[in-house]
Chains A and B, each alone.
Chain A
């Protein structure tokens, strides 16, 4: 198979197999829980508690506690839903696309990216549920034989597709993530000295042995599950895009939406991976595994996707002008580029299409602090993109008498902050309790990268 040698050394510091086991097991087995973990968990829990208040307020008092009005019927809930789903594309995009493409540099990052996917998709799923208002009737969205006459869901509706796509995405991503961890659980089972950990990780490992036939079946099953899940990246966000594109609102009713959303999702997912991995490599001292080369590779991908985003923004505006539809023209030129939502529009353009172009410079890609700041800008920019799409189109529809501006209420802010808390708490638990990097996969590439090192050394002589 095609093995790229251009990436150079993937694991630095002359590690042995034992070093890898020890380094990955350190946070969850031998090491003590560090102080920063408690502090971060405290803040994440506080955010989550505030979010629970937001949920409670919405359920008890109804959707009226949100800033929605007759024309802006979707607000922060759908913005944050799409934002989280986008971030949730990190794991699959990262781990599965790069797995299928045989990119070996994925090995130090894929596990964490997959964990992000799980928690981000769960955070996203809360918004449609809470947006129903009567959350206890949430099971109505499932097709089941019922007492309302044999009335089924509308299987032609993008909203029903969303239900199917997101629950499938969550299930498939979780199973893929879990299967990948089974060999590592077995390693923990054999290496740990604590009887409780031996028991717990032993149960989690399902009695994994690591025999030749076991590995063959494992690799085959994992590749098949990964290969099957890969198209979901495209389908999930295409379906989310169709929630908009199937509507007739100016600014939404556009065929560019599905590819535009998929690219945007991968963009925000990669940037969130970058944000988190820079922190993780620092606090866990994993600089030898998540090398500057890894961050450089992600930065290059982001530059490329940023260009696609820029082209998509220009295309949208061009088609609005070219279509000669006064409504499209109004939305794009009077309500986005200029007008009351110009700030959000230009924030989106600069964060997504302009600032990431700084990654063209090698000096900037090598400076981890700047890379970190740019990755935060992308996260913010992608949030503004969803804000621009949702609010500008809804706030000014065909009938000027119904025009309304939209401001979120404290309840909506609480719910959003709560999902952030949920996400961070999940990631923190992952960092504390599960193997952050795929031990067996790292061992699998160790020898290969050290041979690359030899080649490089010979060339420099």
Chain B
């Protein structure tokens, strides 16, 4: 984050932080982000945050099923058809391997999507607005922009404090 450009509302209660988010949204003040030690479901709802990961997971699973069946069909029917006990080469029991590998492809590619989308990798350097969000504090980050005059800054300060912020910092 760029320095000297943000207002940080620090809370020590998850419900107070949620109320503050609600108030800010009501006053049409753009919230850049909310940092918390554990997930706050209400904040996602208030900020209308959505994720499309479930659709992707479904796609990965479907592609996994299709490609595994393709491989089984190719290897057992086309490439080297071998009769076991007179049973058909295109066997119903392929279902077992397909089922398991569908799950495997779903799990692995969901994880990769998550890491890519969140831009996480081993050794990434982090710049937290307030390291205490990893322990017991909840921080609402509001970006200052050119249109923000003194009065609006004051209003944001008051809103945060009235909702129960223990500190309002600038960074």
Contact = CB atoms under 8 A, between A and B. Distances in A.
B104 A235 contact: no
Interface residues of A, number: 62
Interface in B45-82: 47, 49, 51, 53-54, 57, 61, 71-72, 75-76, 79-80, 82
A214 interface: yes
Contacts of A443: 37-38, 136
**Interface residue range, chain B:** 35 or more
Contacts of A16: 136
Given A212-B43, A228-B110, A190 B135 contact: yes
Question: In terms of DSSP, what is the predominant structure of the interface of chain A?
Answer: helix
A212 B110 contact: no
Interface stretch (B2-10, B123-131, B143-151, B158-166): B123-131
A212 B44 contact: yes
B84 A156 contact: yes
Contacts of B71: 143
Given A191-B135, A239-B96, A217 B51 contact: yes
Interface string A139-183: 000010000011110111000110011001001100110010011
A440 B135 CA distance: 9
Interface stretch (A97-105, A202-210, A327-335, A425-433): A202-210
B39 A218 contact: yes
Contact of B136 (A18, A143, A165): A18
B26 interface: no
A156 B128 CA distance: 53
B91 interface: yes
A164 B39 contact: no
A437 interface: no
Given A152-B75, A441-B38, A228 B103 contact: yes
B122 A220 contact: no
B97 A218 contact: no
A161 B35 contact: no
Nearest to A176: B107
Contact of B37 (A17, A218, A224): A17
Nearest to B36: A210
A219 B40 CA distance: 10
B61 to A, nearest CB: 8
A408 to B, nearest CB: 32
Interface in B79-100: 79-80, 82, 84, 87, 91, 93-94, 96-97, 99-100
A209 B121 contact: no
B120 interface: yes
Contacts of A164: 96-97, 100-101
A155 B40 CA distance: 46
Contacts of A161: 96-97, 100
A160 B91 CA distance: 14
B39 A219 contact: yes
Given A156-B87, A168-B104, A206-B121, A17 B111 contact: no
A216 B39 contact: yes
Given A17-B136, A155-B93, A172-B103, A444 B38 contact: yes
A16 B99 CA distance: 44
Nearest to A440: B38
A220 B35 contact: no
Contacts of B53: 217, 220-221, 224
A232 interface: yes
B53 to A, nearest CB: 5
Interface string B28-39: 000001111111
16 contacts: A154-B84, A155-B97, A156-B87, A168-B100, A186-B126, A203-B123, A206-B121, A208-B126, A209-B128, A221-B110, A221-B111, A221-B114, A232-B100, A440-B39, A443-B136, A444-B38
Given A207-B126, A211-B33, A212-B35, 8 more contacts: A155-B94, A155-B97, A161-B97, A171-B107, A212-B33, A228-B103, A239-B96, A444-B39
Interface of A: 16-18, 21, 143, 149-152, 154-156, 160-161, 164-165, 168, 171-172, 175-176, 179, 182-183, 186-187, 189-191, 202-204, 206-221, 224-225, 228-229, 231-232, 235, 239, 439-441, 443-444, 447
Top 3 closest A-B pairs, CB basis? Answer: A207-B124, A17-B136, A221-B114
